[in-house]
Amino acid sequence: MTHPVLKAGAVAVVTGGASGIGLVAAERYASLGLKVVIVDRGADKLAAAAARVRAASPGRATDVLAVEIDVSRRDQLEALEATVVARFGGVDVLMNNAGIGPDSAVFGPLDAWNAVIDTNLWGVIQGSQVFVPGMIASGKPGLVINTGSKQGITTPPGNPAYNISKAGVKVFTEALEHELRTTTGGRITAHLLIPGFVFTPLTAHGRSEKPAGAWTPEETVDFMLEHLAAGDFYILCPDNEVARSLDEKRILWAAGDIVENRPPLSRWHKDYGAAFADFVKKD
């Protein structure tokens, strides 16, 4: 069972589409007969990805378009939207998936902060602002899928720029879905993809073999498609290390820091480790 928008002839735009989750999603869309636009940086990487997506498509080679842009640049997104409309007539599925993850620190270089937030957060906001008005104007059903992260919900110590960017994606996508359901009658819906530990170029860190605890991008995309079909907004993916039940405990504990007036990030506080362990054990 697939979401009704994911059908032959529909048009999907996937940012960060040349590797990882984005590439596999593009292949899945193509295999369903969608026309697919993959967006990324790196001409060679894009060319190889386009070949894979074309191989997955039952249609013509011209049904797959690869475009190199920087999603943090609004002018480039606007030019992309014009190109897609001219080529395919419009967009039915927008997957704002482009993301980077160089390490950052609270007092670290500003360039690292700007790079992560410009791509991971502004890329999603501006991608939505550029493409979704045209999707609304078409009057057709549509899908917007924004790739977040569990790190944007439980915000563990380390790499704060990445956590903040993904927390922003969560908040923006919630606001976007509220806007869409009150203005389009649910014909266009937004969804937040929340991957677990997925073995991609972003998480490989020099490893060539998938760690046992990680999911593959294929598993993640299959899970996403299943839950899009079910109408889920929060697509909270497990992995081979963390079951959904543990994710739920971690999320509830993080929210409890505010409600219970605990120190922030108390899961990692020396005075609360035992309390968190007991909380996880409770039914």
Catalytic residues, by residue number, are 162
Helices (H), the chain: 20-31, 43-56, 74-88, 110-117, 123-138, 151-154, 160-183, 201-204, 217-229, 244-259, 273-281
**Contacts with 137 (C-beta within 8 Å, 6 or more apart), sequence order:** none
**Is 204 strand, coil or helix?**
helix
Rounded to whole angstroms, the Cα distance separating 127 from 191 reads: 14
Tokens of 197: 């530990």
Nearest to 246 by CA among 219, 276, 274: 276
10 Å CB burial of residue 137 (0-12, 13-18, 19+) is exposed
